């Protein structure tokens, strides 16, 4: 596929520190007491056993504040 060819030629090494910063921030956000993070985690747990298309058709209610 075309997207795979693009990824193969991507110089990913120069983005490694950015990716590490992003995933560290995401980890700390998910571990925080932030109510949005808790809603997101609870929602994802509730749909864990549903087919992937069920996630999209539900409209991601945890995003509606």
Number of domains in the chain: 1
How many C-alpha atoms does 45 have within 13 Å on its Cβ side?
A: 6
Secondary structure of 33-60 in the HEC alphabet? CCHHHHHHHHHHHHCCCCCHHHHHHCCC
Chain centre distance of CA 51: 17
Containing domain of residue 10, as a range? 2-63
pLDDT tens digits along 16-63: 999 999 999 988 888 888 888 788 878 878 877 666 555 555 555 544
| pLDDT of res. 51 | 60
| Residues 29, 37 contacting (CB under 8 angstroms) | yes
Helix (H), strand (E) at residue 6: helix 2-9
- The more confidently predicted of residues 13 and 52 is 13
| pLDDT of res. 20 | 93
Q: What is the reported pTM?
A: 0.46
């Amino acid at each position: 596929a075309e997207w795979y060819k693009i990824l193969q030629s991507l110089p990913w090494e120069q983005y490694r520190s950015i990716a590490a910063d992003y995933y560290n921030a995401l980890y700390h956000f998910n571990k925080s007491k932030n109510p949005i993070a808790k809603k997101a985690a609870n929602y994802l747990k509730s749909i864990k056993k549903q087919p992937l298309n069920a996630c999209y058709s539900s409209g991601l209610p945890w995003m509606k504040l």
